[in-house]
Amino acid sequence: MHGGGFIALSSRSTQSYTRKWADELSVPIFSVDYRMPPNHPFPTAPNDCLLVYEFLLNHVHKFMNIKPTNIYLAGDSAGGNLACVLTGLILKKKLAIPRGIYVAYPAVDLRLAFSKSKIYSLTDVLLWPSMLLLCLNQYLSNDFKKADNLMASPILIDE
């Protein structure tokens, strides 16, 4: 699942490495082009990811002669959030569990609560706090109460 603060980028923007992974590993890679705000705010993106996962489990064999037995989830930044959220939804729905999950700098806590790790965002050269806030405002439709559940903040999976 691609990053982009939930509001930008696409599977096309990740092709520089997903194609390389597919070639080097000799496996199919499916990249989710989840719908984004403002037309499709939260929880559209995690629901789209779940639909794709269910399609892979139940229908991809009919169209691509692929039997999904070793599924790995991957995502970066917002995509890392979605990979973690998807894992929680998979467990909740008792679907086939992925063999593994790879996330790079996942946004696992969208709440505005302070944490020691959020200090690093204050000095990040790529993602300024104001840009992160803009992305979250778009994704959550300016309602940060939506961040208080597993579908937005997978760090809450045990709560």
For 76-95, the pLDDT digits (tens) are 999 999 999 999 999 999 99
Q: Assess if residue 5 is contained within a domain.
A: no
What CATH code is carried by the domain that includes residue 142?
A: 3.40.50.1820
In terms of residue numbers, what domain contains 108? 11-156
Q: Assess if residue 54 is contained within a domain.
A: yes
Q: Assess if residue 6 is contained within a domain.
A: no
Question: Does residue 111 or residue 113 have the better pLDDT?
Answer: 111
Quick one: 62 exposed, middle or buried, by C-beta within 10 A (0-12, 13-18, 19+)? exposed
Q: Assess if residue 3 is contained within a domain.
A: no
Nearest CA among 108, 105, 100, 114 for reference residue 158: 108
Lookup: tokens for 144: 């940060």
Q: Assess if residue 51 is contained within a domain.
A: yes
Percent of the chain at pLDDT above 70? Answer: 96
Q: Assess if residue 2 is contained within a domain.
A: no
The secondary structure element, H or E, covering residue 76 is strand 72-76
**86 phi, psi to nearest 5 deg:** -60, -40
Going by the DSSP 8-state scheme, the letter that residue 118 receives in this structure is G
Q: Assess if residue 33 is contained within a domain.
A: yes
Measured from the Cβ of residue 154, the count of other Cβ atoms closer than 10 Å reads 25
For 8-39, the pLDDT digits (tens) are 999 999 999 999 999 999 999 999 999 999 99
pLDDT band for position 129 (cuts 50, 70, 90): confident
Measured from the Cβ of residue 50, the count of other Cβ atoms closer than 10 Å reads 21
pLDDT at 159: 54
Task: Specify the amino acid at residue 76.
Answer: D
Structural domain total, the chain:
1
